[in-house]
Structures are given as C-alpha cells and as structure tokens.
Structure 1
Amino acid sequence: MLTIHADSRGRALAVEGAWIAGAGQLTDLVAAHPRARVRQWPGILTPGLINLHGNELLEEAYHPDPRESDELGTEPLMGDALATLAMDDTRWGASARRGLQRMLAHGTVRVACEELRNRAVRDAVHRSGLAVVGRLGRPGGTPALDPYAAGLPVEFAAPRERNSAARFAVFDVPDETELAERGAGTCVATVVAGRLVYRRR
C-alpha cells in the first residue's frame, strides 16, 4: 500500500514498499495518488541523519536495559564503566539492539562504521535495516546518540527523491535552524526501508 508522509510545511514523500514513489508538495502527491494513506507529522521532514560513531556506540558501549536503570543508569556505558561488566554475545547483541533503537529515535538512518568485528553487533545492525556507510579511522568528537551533541558537523543522508530508498526522519521543529539548536531528540518519526521504525509516543 502506498503511504504519503507529510510535514507541517506541506512537503511530502510517497512511499511504496522500500522506495520513494514521489516527492513534492502534499497536495500534488495526494492528487497523483488519491488512494494513498496519508500520515501528517508535526515539524519538518528531512533525509535523516548519519551517526558517525557506529563502532564507538555499538561495539565499545553498553546500552543498559531499562530494568537495569537503578543500577546502571540509562546512558551508554563506555571505557572503565564498560570494563566492569561481564559481556558475552547475548549481552552484546541486546545492547546493540537497544543502541540502534535509540539511534532511530534520534532520526538516524545511516551509521558510519569501520569493519564491525563483533558478530552479535554486526547481526543486530543488519537486522535493524539501518544503512551502514564505511569510514576510515575515528571521526573525533564525542560519541553521542544525538549527532548534534557529538561536537562535529552534522551530516544528513542524501536528499530523498523518486526511486531512491525510503529512509528519512521527521523532527518536531519549525526549521533546520531550530533543529540544530534543540537537537535530534525532537525526532517524531523515522522511516527505514519504507517501514516506520520509530514513532514518538
């Protein structure tokens, strides 16, 4: 079924399966696809973000289970804090799945990594549907689920157009300037491979 996703400015993408069937103004896409389901979101529709710290956030960090929050908190554990935990493949896989879900909740549609050496993490990334882009060396900055908090220039995925992969995000802000000021925690929806993989409650 074809779905049209539209933002507060009337910008819209028509999605069929894993692909963009059309891009433009909501009124034009509704006229072209009168039987499509329409999802209207508050804020701005963007191509989605690239998180440059894939290895650091997935293979060098532990994302606590909510049931562990009293003991471990809610933020990713790295460095010495990670070294105190007994990690096995099961725990690495569960941590990576939670980390990926938290990336999606920040509008991430691509993650930059060197080769992922941990098989459990690699499998979790593959199953998530997030696109992986290669990188050489460490990007610097501070690894953060919100790319705006990393201290590096924020990178967006390529603009979405007809016949491109349906990967994008919507942020509940009026424009890109406020997005930069408030950060990616304003994400209300993330679509990957045509699927709505995150929706703010």
Structure 2
Amino acid sequence: MLTLHAADLVLPGDRDPVPGGAVLVDGDRIAMIAPYEDVAAEHPSARVRRWPGVLTPGLVNRHGAALLERTYFPDDPFEVDELGTEPLTGAALDALAPSESRRGNSARRCTQKLLAHGVVAVTGPLTTPAVRTAVRRAGLEVLMSGGAEGALDPLAGIRPSEAFRGPLAVGGPARFAVFAVPDEDALAAQGAGTCIATVIGGRLVHRRR
C-alpha cells in the first residue's frame, strides 16, 4: 500500500526545503518527494497521513552504546520505589549489577525513548546479546562508530542537519521523523523532544499520543 506523509515543511537533507511537501512511501522505500498537491494528484489512492510541523530524515544518536549498555532505565512504575525515576549510570549502575535480562529490558525502554526523539540509528558497538535483540526488534540501525556519554536528545549541541542519518531520496529507505516545529531553526532550538512521529522501513514505529 502506498502511504503519503504530508507535512507543513519537508527537509530532504541535501536540497531545498519543500513547503507543503509530502513523502510517498511504497513498502520500505521512498517513491516520491514533492509538494503535496503533486504527489496526491499522481497517486490519488494513496493513504494519507497529515502531520503538523517539519518532516526530516531520521536522526542518529551518537551515544548509543552509552545509553543502551552503560545506562539503566528503571521500569516505571514497578521499580520506581526501589530505584527512582532517573536513569542509573556509573557507580549506581555498578551497585545495581543488573542481569542480562534486566539490561535487555532497560534497552527496550531506552529504544522507545529514542524512537520518541526521531532516532533511526545509534552508534555501537553493542556487546550484550539482550541489548542487541532489543535494538533489532525496535528497527534501529547500529553504526559502528562509538560515542561518549550523552543525552537521549540527538540534537543536543549540534544542528539538526549534523544528526541526519542520510538525505531523503527517491528509491532510498523510508526512515524519517516529524517534529512539531515550523522549521530547522526551531528544531535546533527546541530539540528532538518535539518529535511526533518516527518511520522506519516504511512503518510508523512511534506516534505521540
């Protein structure tokens, strides 16, 4: 089925923005990028998803190994009384000494947070089998270039274009995100927490409720 994702502004990542643009998805690939009227006219039977804001290439979080393997995200509400709500790192994580199963569950919770920030790829390497399984099931790509400790927000301290996994291209993978901001400057100022939708492999893997 063809799906047309329309947004107030489309940022392809390697060419001029498309106001009132749309990205047409066929399976797991991008079939067309153009103004909404042009895409809709050529493909009137496509399912339409309308998003307020800016549609961009999916983002890379360059702190993937640190977040997924050197951070523990407590399970809310089941572990809050014992561990609190903040992620555990360093000595606190060493004291907890979570089993591989708990580390995998933490990674699963982390992947959901990453998807909610428009992330489609993380840096590795990831050495824990349960963590790798959680990441694979989430559909996240693992890039083999490690990063230091850092934030869930892949835009912390950098411009959005520096975090794009790759430009949107016809025939390329359908992996992108939509943010409830009017343009790239606003996205840089407000961060990836403004994400309202993330698409990987043509599938809507996150949608803000």
Q: Normalized against structure 1, the TM-score is what? A: 0.92
Once the two structures are overlaid, the 10-residue window that deviates more, 28-37 or 70-79, is: 70-79
State the identity as a percent: 55
Please report how far the alpha carbon of residue 127 of structure 1 lies from its aligned counterpart in structure 2 after TM superposition.
Answer: 1.4
Please report how far the alpha carbon of residue 152 of structure 1 lies from its aligned counterpart in structure 2 after TM superposition.
Answer: 5.0
3-state DSSP of counterpart to 1:81: helix
Please report how far the alpha carbon of residue 86 of structure 1 lies from its aligned counterpart in structure 2 after TM superposition.
Answer: 3.6
Partner of 2:178: 170
Partner of 1:121: 131
Q: What amino acid is the match of 2:155?
A: Y
Residue in structure 1 matching 2:150, options 136, 143, 154: 143
Partner of 1:186: 194
Please report how far the alpha carbon of residue 126 of structure 1 lies from its aligned counterpart in structure 2 after TM superposition.
Answer: 1.4
Which consecutive residues of structure 2, in runs of 5 or more, have no partner in the other structure?
A: 10-19
Change (3 A) 1:184 1:70: farther
Asked if the contact 2:155–2:163 (Cα under 8 Å) also holds between the matched residues in 1, the reply is no
Partner of 1:97: 108
Please report how far the alpha carbon of residue 167 of structure 1 lies from its aligned counterpart in structure 2 after TM superposition.
Answer: 0.4
CA distance in 2, matches of 1:174, 1:70: 40
Which consecutive residues of structure 1, in runs of 5 or more, have no partner in the other structure?
A: none
Please report how far the alpha carbon of residue 75 of structure 1 lies from its aligned counterpart in structure 2 after TM superposition.
Answer: 3.1
Partner of 2:15: none
Partner of 2:17: none
CA distance in 2, matches of 1:128, 1:121: 11
Across the aligned residues of Structure 1 and Structure 2, the Cα RMSD in angstroms comes to: 1.5
Partner of 1:54: 64
Matched, 1:110 2:118: no
CA distance in 1, matches of 2:31, 2:204: 16
Q: Normalized against structure 2, the TM-score is what? A: 0.89
Please report how far the alpha carbon of residue 178 of structure 1 lies from its aligned counterpart in structure 2 after TM superposition.
Answer: 0.8
Partner of 2:207: 199
CA distance in 2, matches of 1:196, 1:70: 33
Partner of 1:76: 87
3-state DSSP of counterpart to 1:42: strand
CA distance in 2, matches of 1:28, 1:75: 47
Q: What amino acid is the match of 2:188?
A: A
CA distance in 1, matches of 2:81, 2:177: 32
Partner of 2:25: 15
